[in-house]
Chains A and B, each alone.
Chain A
């Protein structure tokens, strides 16, 4: 289908007046990879995407596509297609003309244009809407029109800036799957920006987690979930996020408040730590960390129980009815290998 390409960012720095927006971003994306840039608002992920596209000037660093330095190339010269958050469709042109536009701009002959447009429209299933104007389309249809316009050129790099954020929840879930399938079918290298960690976790091959203009971890969704590199990442990934409690390592045991448990691993010295436990790793048992149930959130097929442990609120996810009531005293159990340890001062993984 389209020629996939590799992308590399080396030492990208961007400043905005006195503020540094990006502190030196390094990324290497393989050909055909679906790569997500994940982070909260203002973390620099969209800026990075725009620098990749050539829409945003930067103060230092290089952008390299397929081994070629494209840092000074105009956006139109990079063989990159982008789907904007607002879709940025041309309102005065029909859907057909919107999709045809990139082909016309490089002088593609008419028959080829027609074939390309209908092919792309068929791939995203809007071929029955070609005569309409963007203003006459629903949100989901507009998004697919933007997608068609992007894929019609068979670009080497495909950029998506939070393309699902304007859709309602149900449509978001459906479209997520479709996007993934489309990318697989086309095999084009894709960089995808989102603040929704669940989205990134489900569709990306690899994720780069952005916090305040820095990449704090790069890895597969599994890497990031199972082995978060710092408490920042741990707190961001997962819904509900990982519970973080202050504790200490003393002579081979981990102590959290009044609770002590044997530490089943080597190589961790004594000292203050932050203990991380995923809500799904906790369960109610006769023995374990003591606490008092504060609130039960019944979600239907699962529940989130808020348990007061010492001064903190710990969230526990259970698959069925939790069997506990508010105000009840409980004990939280977890497996030894479900324990995450972070250095108290730096937040880094131990």
Chain B
């Protein structure tokens, strides 16, 4: 028995390493000088330097404007998506209306569209509206995947609220809208938080739309990283620093909200919907 547990623990430790290694390795590398990076066998003890970070943050190809762009686009897209999604999800979860199931399927189906098929019309549309390489253009396009995803997650949270609580509020003469506001929304506060995190993560990590529909003014951190690699071919320490900065927000969010993310994943998984 002990041998068995030891074996399993060893296997689990291996997986732990495999999953966390890239992030930890990048973190480590970001504090090395370029010379130390190329050393073989790889150095674990070295004199750390912040040069890479200062270069990436304040150098010629600073990541700061990109971090800012990502933040703006992701925040606005998330806020807008949640504002629209929460009432819609409530309607889908609780109210009776014709074509209710059809509407549900429709929302689910919109998540299955391959983004590559949508960018061509988007590009042409935004071009006509002179909205290429603008924040508003990108935020609206980001709604494409943020909105159905948010709706689908919130529907399952709304379905968990006991019907009788709603009915009690109606009988207490609250009316539908006030019942939603005073009684039901407080019940799904946790769900709203989790969904917001997921939607934000998704938007922050988006690449295809950002690279095609963005440009010089609106360049998110994912696009910047992609360009990084072609320019800074062998400046790996700098690349590592850039990647750490680019991913720090989502990693921190992920670690902080880790328990909720696990719950949210499984909730979303049971009811449908997904991440790209």
List A residues 65-104 near B (Cβ within 8 Å): 74-77, 80-82, 84-86, 88-92, 101-102
B124 on the A face (CB < 8 A): no
Asked if B164 and A102 make an inter-chain contact with CB atoms under 8 angstroms apart, the answer reads: no
Interface string of B156-185 (1 = CB under 8 A from A): 000000101101111111110010001100
Nearest opposing residue in chain B for A77, CB measure: B173
B186 on the A face (CB < 8 A): yes
A105 on the B face (CB < 8 A): yes
B187 on the A face (CB < 8 A): yes
Asked if B167 and A55 make an inter-chain contact with CB atoms under 8 angstroms apart, the answer reads: yes
List B residues 7-65 near A (Cβ within 8 Å): none
Of A76, A88, A153, which one neighbours B164 at CB under 8 angstroms?
Answer: A88
Question: Interface centre among B164, B168, B186, by most A CB within 10 Å?
Answer: B168
Asked if A76 and B172 make an inter-chain contact with CB atoms under 8 angstroms apart, the answer reads: yes
Residues on B with beta carbons closer than 8 Å to the beta carbon of A244: none
Chain B proximity of A161: nearest CB distance (Å):
9
Residues on A with beta carbons closer than 8 Å to the beta carbon of B162: 86, 88
A341 on the B face (CB < 8 A): no
Residues on B with beta carbons closer than 8 Å to the beta carbon of A89: 165, 168
Asked if B168 and A82 make an inter-chain contact with CB atoms under 8 angstroms apart, the answer reads: yes
Asked if B172 and A92 make an inter-chain contact with CB atoms under 8 angstroms apart, the answer reads: no
Of A84, A92, A149, which one neighbours B167 at CB under 8 angstroms?
Answer: A84
Q: A86-B162, A91-B187, A92-B186 are in contact. Are A101 and B167 (CB under 8 A)?
A: no
Asked if A106 and B173 make an inter-chain contact with CB atoms under 8 angstroms apart, the answer reads: yes
* Size of B's binding interface in residues, CB under 8 A: 17
Q: Complex: how many Å from CA A105 to CA B187?
A: 19
Asked if B183 and A76 make an inter-chain contact with CB atoms under 8 angstroms apart, the answer reads: no
Q: A102-B173, A149-B172 are in contact. Are A86 and B164 (CB under 8 A)?
A: yes
Number of inter-chain CB pairs below 8 Å: 59
Q: Complex: how many Å from CA A90 to CA B165?
A: 7
Chain B proximity of A72: nearest CB distance (Å):
15
Q: Complex: how many Å from CA A102 to CA B182?
A: 12
List B residues 69-110 near A (Cβ within 8 Å): none
Residues on A with beta carbons closer than 8 Å to the beta carbon of B172: 76, 101-102, 105, 149, 153
Residues on A with beta carbons closer than 8 Å to the beta carbon of B178: 105
Residues on B with beta carbons closer than 8 Å to the beta carbon of A81: 171
Interface string of A47-63 (1 = CB under 8 A from B): 00000010100000000
Of B174, B186, B187, which one neighbours A76 at CB under 8 angstroms?
Answer: B174
Q: Complex: how many Å from CA A221 to CA B43?
A: 90
Residues on B with beta carbons closer than 8 Å to the beta carbon of A76: 170-175
Nearest opposing residue in chain B for A53, CB measure: B171
Q: Complex: how many Å from CA A169 to CA B164?
A: 24
Residues on A with beta carbons closer than 8 Å to the beta carbon of B183: 90
Of A75, A85, A86, A106, which one neighbours B171 at CB under 8 angstroms?
Answer: A75
24 A-B pairs whose Cβ atoms sit less than 8 Å apart in the complex: A55-B171, A75-B167, A75-B171, A76-B173, A76-B175, A82-B167, A82-B171, A84-B164, A84-B168, A86-B164, A88-B164, A88-B168, A89-B165, A89-B168, A90-B165, A90-B168, A90-B169, A90-B183, A92-B186, A92-B187, A101-B174, A102-B171, A149-B168, A153-B172
Given known contacts A76-B173, A76-B175, A90-B168, what 9 new A-B pairs fall within 8 Å (CB)? Answer: A74-B170, A82-B167, A84-B167, A90-B165, A101-B182, A102-B173, A105-B174, A105-B175, A153-B172
A residues in contact (CB < 8 Å) with B: 53, 55, 74-77, 80-82, 84-86, 88-92, 101-102, 105-106, 149, 153
